[in-house]
Amino acid sequence: MVILHEYPLSMVDHIGFKEFVTDLQPMFKLVTRNTLKSDIFKIYDNEKEKALKITDKNGSRMAITTDMWTSSNKKRGFMVITAHFIDHAWTLFVYIPSPHTKDVLVNVLVDCFLEWNIDRKLSTITVDNCSTNDAMIRLLLNKLDTSSLMLDGSMLHMRCAAHILNLIVQDGLSLIGDGIEKIHDSVIYWTGSPKRRQKFEENARQLRVQCTKELVLDCKTRWNSTYLMLSTALIYKDVFSRLAKRETSYTCLPYDHDWEVVKDIYGRLELFYSVTEFFSSRKYPTTNMYFSLVCELKIALNECSLSSSEMISTMTESMLAKFNSYWANVSVVMAVSVILDPRYKIKLLEFYYPSIYGVNSDLEIEKIKNLCYDLLNEYGDVDESPVDNEGSSHMPASTLNQVAQIKFRLIGSMSRFDGFVNNSSSNSKLYLFAI
């Protein structure tokens, strides 16, 4: 129970918990926190031994993702290392001593790989997009046997799509920072006390604003929370204006121009928000499922860059520059995963690449084909290992529903893709008939 729900070890000393256990069974003797800690380590060692047997038996490569977080109580840094492979997935938590330099991170990763005997089974390592991680991967390649990696390690480094998307949008939003900052300050002001909240709600009722949403403050490191803050604030625009006339201490009301710019950009960011929510889902956000979403983002940015609004075009150019640097690094891996999806195969590339690469689309598709051949040859050199289907999982209905609910543009793009496939098939039949 403590492991499952992440309860503190001190729970066994809580008076309320002791009374609860006594009421259930007066004869039961609670363990001490030290005994509880010892039992948890025994469970960990037992589970680790079972996991090692699985990794030794399994012949597939491991895709690694890492992230850093700091514990709230002791302010200690930890790296979470997650290994994904064809049949199972598990999560490892490793304490990282400060400072979190590239050398420290590399040593922790290498030690972890060696401990779990997966240093020769790596496929990719996905990390946040930052200079420290870039340097870490370069050092890691020097410490690993690159001959055991896919294509000598050329595909090892992957950048986190969700983190990149956050950086891209933050880059664009920085250009309208003044307007967003005023809305941010306004939300802080009117949620600062119960009395102010009540006054805000009363004025909203007087203006008959039909909305049950409460004002929500954003987290500046997560752009999608900024999007949610703007979506609610725009609904209550007239309420803010009304209150500015009645409350002399409220001095951060956005100008009309700020509201217009925010409204325009908010509408254009709706697609980005939907994709961010999908990227952030905790179950099965696999590459083949979001390749089309990334392509749609690329096309949407290209369209926005042609906007007659100087503000929109300037913002988009900044976002495009960052997007293109990400796309150049990971698009090939995403394209391979889509080709292996029987719903799409190479047809999805033929559908999207002309819109992305223009006259160079055939050349780019040929590069992906050659990469597929290289990977096929490399996997052909590996002895086949029996696949253990125990623990294999299927995509849950909730995830399929989430994909289906991605905004109308994405649904429309798949409809256009279906038409593209049908037309391609018809042309092929006519050609064969003519021959």
The reply to whether 230 and 348 lie within a common domain is: no
The reply to whether 414 and 291 lie within a common domain is: yes
Q: Of 271, 297, 325, which residue is a domain's last?
A: 271
User: What is the number of structural domains in the chain?
Assistant: 4
Among candidate residues 161, 397, 398, the one with its CA nearest the CA of residue 279: 161
The pTM of the whole model exceeds 0.75: no
Q: 83 near 63, Cβ under 8 Å?
A: yes
Among candidate residues 301, 15, 13, the one with its CA nearest the CA of residue 168: 301
The reply to whether 145 and 185 lie within a common domain is: no
Give the Å distances, CA to CA, from 391 to 21, 204, 268, 387. 34, 52, 41, 11
Euclidean distance between CA atoms 57 and 36, whole angstroms: 32
Is residue 388 in some structural domain? no
Q: 113 near 122, Cβ under 8 Å?
A: yes
Is residue 112 in some structural domain? yes
The reply to whether 255 and 323 lie within a common domain is: no
Q: Picking from 78-92, 301-315, 326-340, 419-433, which range would have the lowest pLDDT averaged per residue?
A: 419-433
- The pLDDT tens digits of the residues spanning 294-352 come to 888 888 888 888 877 777 788 888 888 888 878 877 788 889 988 988 888 899 999 99
Give the Å distances, CA to CA, from 52 to 47, 115, 179, 341. 9, 9, 54, 30
Q: 94 near 78, Cβ under 8 Å?
A: yes
- Give me the amino acid identity at 365: I
Helix/strand/coil for 62: strand
Run of H or E residues at 80: strand 77-84
The reply to whether 267 and 296 lie within a common domain is: no
The reply to whether 116 and 225 lie within a common domain is: no
The reply to whether 196 and 147 lie within a common domain is: no
The reply to whether 242 and 317 lie within a common domain is: no
Residues 392-396 have a mean pLDDT of 41
- The pLDDT tens digits of the residues spanning 95-151 come to 556 666 778 888 888 888 888 888 888 888 888 877 888 888 888 888 888 888 888
- The confidence score (pLDDT) of residue 362 equals 92
Residue 346, domain extent: 281-380+396-434
Three-state secondary structure along 328-339? HHHHHHHHHHHH
